[in-house]
Chain A
């Protein structure tokens, strides 16, 4: 059973950098294909932030691409999200998830972390 757990500061100042980590157990970021971040602003729907492949390639949402970076730490079996120049609009619950299947056949987000709330406020 794959388990994911997000961690990071719950409060970030405006114009600062949001940094989150997703620790993976029961699966390997070195072999499983893609890993993703999704966020949900309070009372709103789901927004796909981007995904990272175990070989390091990435796809980002064009609405965020200038501020987002994803990376892997294979030694710790975890992956990370960095969002720069944050504003109140970045306040959200951030989820990490695994992409099951492959991007060529029946891709889906089959395992999710519980989510972590990040508030942008001074």
Chain B
């Protein structure tokens, strides 16, 4: 099983600041098989990034993804109020298709 570790667990920032979220895999994951999701309270997760760096339909360009191998990053260039939420990475290379434990981005 490919274990995903996300850091930090919680990120306390102010609107307008830059957020950098990390996702590390226990074994190499081809970039094509790494996705990021956002979950706001009481809502279903929403796809943000797939293939490590491709934005999903309708996702603002302040969201970007990068990385390869075992280290991946989600960057939010300038935080908007609606960006304060939980973020999960997921690998689709091997079964089970594991999720990371999540990073909470909260208002400082």
Pick from B47, B96, B98: contact of A110, CB below 8 A. Answer: B47
Pick from A45, A62, A106: contact of B32, CB below 8 A. Answer: A106
- Report Cα–Cα, A59/B93, bound state, in Å: 13
Residue A56 at the chain B interface, CB threshold 8 Å: no
- Best-surrounded residue of B1, B92, B97, B102 (most CB of chain A within 10 A): B97
The contact string, 1 if C-beta is below 8 Å from chain B, for chain A 40-60, is: 000001111011000000010
The reply to whether B51 and A106 form a contact with Cβ atoms under 8 Å apart is yes
- Report Cα–Cα, A105/B30, bound state, in Å: 10
Count of chain A residues near B, Cβ 8 A: 26
Q: What is the predominant secondary structure among interface residues of chain A facing chain B? A: strand
The contact string, 1 if C-beta is below 8 Å from chain B, for chain A 96-110, is: 000011010111111
Interface residues of B (CB under 8 A from A): 1, 32-33, 35, 37, 39, 43-47, 50-51, 54, 56, 88, 90, 92, 95-102
Interface residues of A (CB under 8 A from B): 36, 38, 45-48, 50-51, 59, 61-63, 95, 100-101, 103, 105-110, 112-115
A-B contact sample (4 more), CB < 8 A, given A38-B45, A46-B88, A108-B47: A45-B101, A46-B102, A48-B90, A63-B96
